[in-house]
Amino acid sequence: MPYDFTTIYDRHGKDALAVEGLGKPGFAPPTPKNGFSAIPMWVADMNFATVPTIPAAIIARASHPLYGYFLTPDAYYDAIIGWQRDRNGVEGLTKDAIGYENGVLGGVASALGCLAAPGDAVLLHSPTYIGFTHTLEDNGYRIVHSPLVQDENGTWRMDYADMDRKCKENHIHAAIFCSPHNPCGRVWERWEIEKAMDVYRENGVTVISDEIWSDIILGGHKHIPTQSVSEDARQRTIALYAPSKTFNLAGLIGSYHIIYNKTLRDRVAARSEKTHYNEMNVLSMHALLGAYTPEGRAWVDELCAVLTENVDYACRYIAEHFPGVRVAKPEGTYLLFLDCTDWCAAHGKTIDEVEQAGWDVGVAWQDGRMFHGPCAVRMNLALPKSLVVEAFERLDKYVFNA
Ligand SMILES: Cc1ncc(COP(=O)(O)O)c(C=O)c1O
């Protein structure tokens, strides 16, 4: 293992929402009771140091003490083209199909702005990433959920008939497709994406495909870019990517879209550029250049192996120790979405009591209701394994088998 995924970094005093945000108003968990350290398992960033080529690239640029207006070099586009080719098998991507986005959610807002008017309905799957909910509500769109359903093996699946019906009933022409899916952890298979794209095509729906998690794929699975499943999908889809989730760079900001359809691309660009806010930052640009390197590729491979081990450990632990807690093992992302319905019924407890019991002992997990899981908790497993083990031992002793 050439890279370090075991050091426990103290993030206090380093502006980290994951630790400094605890107990603050909003959606953060409360601080633990005295005597317990906080284990940050909520906001979706990682407690790992990023690949060293990223700070090296930032420091190299920062050491030249002039930070004036800058031009985006071809190296930036070439890095993205190379990354998409090597990681996602994307051929034929050219510079003009790539555009900067100030955050993936910013890209979602810009894209929706040219696809729907306030008050229009937009199709999303539920459970739903809370960032989508806020972005749509804040901008006046009407969210129509198509619930994912668990099959006989517990695997989350799309309900194509429901999607089709909701598109028709609500005159929907814009959808958000989250691939891999936060919080359910599905890495959609090609046939599933094809069927979804058939529904979207038949209903004249343009698709915003959020693929921010596309690099975080767990053992044995493969990410299929939405645009790759057919020529129609390539033309119908606004795809959003970023190095931020992959390399723990959320604090630097810097995402990008891939849009092959020229009309769509011009509409999205018009929407985002006219704000005059959608500008790249020179240091985050160098971060991407440091990320999309051979070292970055090796680091992500190792990261995914570490996360696979954490997820395997957690799911095994739950199956062996927490009867009544159900979880569909994630295939991508580092998020667990625990369904506590049966456990709560068996123990006469509410989900509030379960969550509070975890928070009290420093397991800073996240209320699943904000992702539309009525009796669910979301857990981030992107921590050194020793902390994941510590969290599960506390859950065993103080929450599920207290
Ligand atoms: C599916 C999904 N999209 C977007 C984001 C946020 O992206 P950004 O910080 O680039 O807006 C997240 C963060 O957790 C996410 O899970």
- For ligand 1, whether the C-beta of 180 sits within 6 Å is no
- Rounded to whole angstroms, how far apart are CA atoms 335 and 341? 19
pLDDT digits (tens, 9 = 90+) for 354-374: 999 999 999 999 999 999 999
**What distance in angstroms lies between residue 349's CA and the mean position of ligand 1's atoms?**
32
Nearest to 18 by CA among 398, 373, 365: 365
Residue numbers in the chain where pLDDT is lower than 70: 1
pLDDT digits (tens, 9 = 90+) for 56-74: 999 999 999 999 999 999 9
Q: Which residue's CA is the nearest one to ligand 1's atom 14?
A: 44
Q: Give Rg (Cα) of the chain.
A: 21
pLDDT of residue 26: 86
Pick from 179, 182, 378 the residue to mutate for probing ligand 1's pocket: most ligand atoms within 8 Å of its CB. 182
- Rounded to whole angstroms, how far apart are CA atoms 391 and 313? 12
- Rounded to whole angstroms, how far apart are CA atoms 57 and 63? 10
pLDDT of residue 80: 98
Residue 339 DSSP one-character state = E
Q: Does the global pTM surpass 0.95? A: yes
- Rounded to whole angstroms, how far apart are CA atoms 85 and 140? 37
178 class by beta-carbon count within 10 Å (0-12 exposed, 13-18 middle, 19+ buried): buried
Q: Which segments of 203-327 does DSSP mark as H helices, in order?
A: 231-236, 244-247, 262-273, 282-291, 294-321
- For residue 371, the number of C-alpha atoms closer than 13 Å in the C-beta half-sphere is 25
pLDDT of residue 217: 98
Residue 390 DSSP one-character state = H
